[in-house]
A and B are shown apart, each in its own frame.
Chain A
């Protein structure tokens, strides 16, 4: 039996012939949100473990990325809204069934916390700036505020650990909640995006780290995360392979379609397998410039978000 469907009288912008509602701002935000969540998670975790002195980059320097990444991500999100001046409506309600509502509220807490965390380390991270600008001596209230933050750092860390995990998972659940888009609609996407976010966070810490011990520690963490991520990707593909017709068609886009090169070439091989091998070689003792695997992981994470957002919108229910 053959079946052909003609839809006449319909050519709605951004919807026909295939959905193009979410573009690069969403993919970029999903990457930046995951990255910020990853960095803050490690900072809070190692602070709570009392490893502040051992891993200074993770707890202090790298966290500077988080408020910047979150701010850029939020600007991208706002740019993507088409009814921007009503964005405050997000905060007039809490919808327990809507992942986006969860994300909006979590961001409202995590973004200020990321600024406060960095500010509490301001004089330690930027001693040169402070010597030049003398901000804390000029403005007494800033000094009082810093002392207050340093005293409460422990509570910030305790709050950040669960909040960053929610933020990391939500970037994936945001997509997986749409059963109309079969590629997105699998329960593994939340954990997958969380692990990918943590992995990019670890890679960013490796990039900024100055001590070999710290680089090796986060190299190990990243290696484990990459292996978990690869396993989750296999799970995702197997789940779709054993799924219904719409899921099989969705999987074809990644396995045997227009996103195959991007997905397997840039995400799986260049973004996961190659950096994993390089990190392993480095841990064994050979000299590998750590900047290479770290940058590959970051780039792979970014391309992964783009592939998932773009490919997901091509998949749909056919009736």
Chain B
């Protein structure tokens, strides 16, 4: 996933779309908006962006999971099987992005990149509703895909790369 921080206005449409699409319990969210202010007055720089599970290549949550409920499916998406999750909280402790939460039903829940929509050839809910079209979703392994082209041509960053997780959500800056 590629998110253009220069186009994001922080409207939270992605958050609401995700909560609706995935039946996220009230008070919880799988994605959220952050506002970062850099510099000192009057030279300020505001960055808005939508954050979620980074579906890391080297996912600490998958490594720490004692039952294998957290796993990486084909295509690199990190998923949780609710029936295998015991709710021990190890994955929540292991996530540098605090992207996971304990569902009120007990198991651990998080962003799935709307895997159920991808299977039908649709885009994740957050991407499909973004009014400024600042979010892009596609195959990073395909050098001709829109996301690969964007990363080739634009300056970008990932979150907390020093955590060694190799995130799969990229931010254009």
By the criterion CB–CB under 8 Å, are B36 and A5 in contact?
Answer: yes
Convert A218-258 into 0s and 1s, putting 1 for each residue whose CB lies closer than 8 angstroms to a CB of B.
Answer: 00000000000000000000000000100000000000000
- For A86, the chain B residues whose CB sits under 8 A away are 67, 83-87, 106-107
Interface residues of A in 70-85 (CB under 8 A from B): 80-84
Residues of B within 8 Å of A92, CB to CB, are 67, 84
B139 within 8 A of A: no
Q: Mark B128-151, 1 if CB is under 8 A from A, else 0.
A: 000000000000000000000000
Question: A90 contacts which chain B residues (CB < 8 A)?
Answer: 66-67, 86
The verdict on B77 contacting chain A, using a C-beta distance below 8 Å, is: no
In the assembled complex, which residues on chain B have CB atoms less than 8 Å from the CB atom of A81? 86-88, 106
- Of A111-119, A132-140, A173-181, A292-300, which stretch is located at the interface? A173-181
- For the complex, what is the distance from the CA of A5 to the CA of B32, rounded to whole Å? 13
**Pair A19/B92 contact, Cβ less than 8 Å:** yes
**Contact size range, B:** 35 or more
Chain A residues 1-16 with CB under 8 Å of chain B are 1-16
Q: Compute how far the CA of A82 lies from the CA of B35 in the bound complex, rounded to whole angstroms.
A: 32
A10 contacts B86, CB within 8 Å? no
Which candidate, A38-46, A208-216, A273-281, A311-319, is the interface stretch facing chain B? A311-319
Q: How far is the CA of A311 from the CA of B46 in the complex (A)?
A: 32
A269 to chain B, nearest CB (A): 29
| In the complex, B154 has a CB within 8 A of chain A | no
In the complex, which residue of chain A has the Cβ closest to the Cβ of B107?
Answer: A83
Partner of B96, one of A3, A87, A180, A244: A180
- A3, B38: Cβ atoms under 8 Å? yes
- The interface residues of chain A lying within 8 Å CB-to-CB of B160 are 317, 319
Closest chain B residue, CB of each to CB of A98: B66
Interface string of B32-68 (1 = CB under 8 A from A): 1111111110000000000000000000100111111
Are B36 and A98 in contact, CB atoms less than 8 angstroms apart? Answer: no
Q: Is the CB of A178 within 8 A of B94?
A: yes
Is A180 a contact of B93 with CB atoms below 8 Å? yes
- Kindly provide the distance from the CB of A6 to the nearest chain B CB, expressed in whole angstroms: 4
Say how far A82's CB is from chain B's closest CB, in angstroms: 3
Whether the Cβ atoms of B89 and A98 lie closer than 8 Å is no
When the two chains form their complex, are residues B86 and A2 in contact, meaning their CB atoms are under 8 A apart? Answer: no
Task: Given A3-B37, A12-B28, answer yes or no on A181-B93 (Cβ-Cβ < 8 Å).
Answer: yes
Pairwise interchain contact A317-B96, C-beta atoms closer than 8 A? yes
A89-B69, A98-B64 known, 7 other contacts, Cβ within 8 Å: A3-B36, A4-B36, A8-B32, A81-B88, A86-B86, A178-B93, A317-B163
Sample of 14 A–B contacts (CB below 8 Å):
A2-B37, A2-B40, A5-B36, A6-B34, A12-B28, A22-B89, A82-B102, A89-B86, A95-B68, A100-B90, A178-B93, A316-B96, A316-B98, A317-B163
